[in-house]
Structure 1
Amino acid sequence: MKRLFAAAALAAVLVQGAQAAEISVGYGPEFTKKLQEDYGEKEGDVLAGRIERDLTRELAKAGVDVARVEVTILDARPSRPTFKQAGDKPGLDMMRSVSVGGMKLKAVAYDAAGAPAGELEYDWYENDIRQAGLTTWHDASRASDRFARRFAKALD
């Protein structure tokens, strides 16, 4: 039993080491302004968390070994109104107001020596209002997922 526990602990350490890429998500100047004036600043944290999760998952799946990834959200559009938008414009309905959303991202990966290992700029926006997502950032989440897959593939 002790050996099994020790083996599981060692495996957990090795898995953490394989996923040691530091991922930082920032915002472009125009998107920062949108967050402050229109969407609400907490919405940036929601998107950044999604991007970090998607990239962590896809880099691990692909077995890509990079030390650091810097991602910049250049633009994002919600599929449904954010809380700030609904508060600022009472005519918006959180459930019935829909829009085509999506996101534009740019990322640079660096190796352990600090040299660029790869770069990708990617955008995806829904083009059919009938396919608008069910949640505020549904379409932007789809863009994040697609971006993470392409970036991991490009680095592989």
Structure 2
Amino acid sequence: MRPIALSAAILAACLASPAFAAPKVAYVQVSAGEDLRKKTDMFDEREIGVLTTSLKKAIERALPATEGGGTLSLVIEDAKPNRPTMVQMAKTPGLSFDSFGLGGARISGSYVDPTGAKTPIAYSWYETDIRWARYRGTWSDADKAFGDLARRLAKDQFTQTR
């Protein structure tokens, strides 16, 4: 009797697994939010381009384009660098590129599946431990947030904030 119960449990798990499947995505659109664009003391179009490209690449690695899939629209609402950006270096005499801090990012958006159903997306991650910041690049923590979001979307987990 036990093998039958075990087989039933395995079958139930296999049938339930499509509920946790990655969403099918045909197109990924990434943009910068108004709050991010207002930070002209920290960013210029070049930095915003670096961030949007990085997020788009992370998503496309985790969710390859699929014909007949939905549209994933993401907005980078906020991003904090680990090191000074070029704009900050130009505007602040005496600021050293050796300076470091805690970074991260906040992303929102939506996924519209082929039937037109819309699912909101919200994710944020900011580093809380400065011990490793010294060894990281300008956008390392933001890149980690982008990668974490991509992995969560691949697991069909659309919202989480920290």
TM-score for the superposition, normalised by structure 1: 0.76
Query: Would the alpha carbon gap of residues 112 and 155 (structure 1) be closer, same or farther in structure 2, given more than 3 Å must change?
Result: farther
In the TM superposition, what whole-angstrom CA distance separates every residue of 1:37-71 from its partner, at most 9, and x where no partner exists? 3222211110111111111111139x897321100
Which of the two has higher C-alpha Rg?
Answer: 2
> Structure 2: any 5+ residue segments left out of the alignment?
1-23
Q: Does 1:91 find its partner at 2:78?
A: no
More helix by share: 1
TM-score for the superposition, normalised by structure 2: 0.74
Q: Distance in 2 between matches of 1:108 and 1:47?
A: 18
Structure 1: 4+ residue segments shifted above 6 A: none
Q: Does 1:140 find its partner at 2:145?
A: no
CA RMSD, aligned part only? 2.4
Tell me the SS of whatever aligns to 1:39.
coil
Alignment of 1:5-154 (within 5 A): 21-34=26-39, 36-60=40-64, 66-94=69-97, 96-116=98-118, 118-132=119-133, 134-154=136-156
The offset of 1:155, in angstroms, is 6.2
In the TM superposition, what whole-angstrom CA distance separates every residue of 1:98-130 from its partner, at most 9, and x where no partner exists? 0100000012111224331x3321111111111
> Structure 1: any 5+ residue segments left out of the alignment?
1-18
Q: Is the 8 A contact 1:66 1:109 kept in 2?
A: no
Q: Percent identity?
A: 34
Q: Distance in 1 between matches of 2:120 and 2:25?
A: 19
Q: Distance in 1 between matches of 2:68 and 2:149?
A: 18
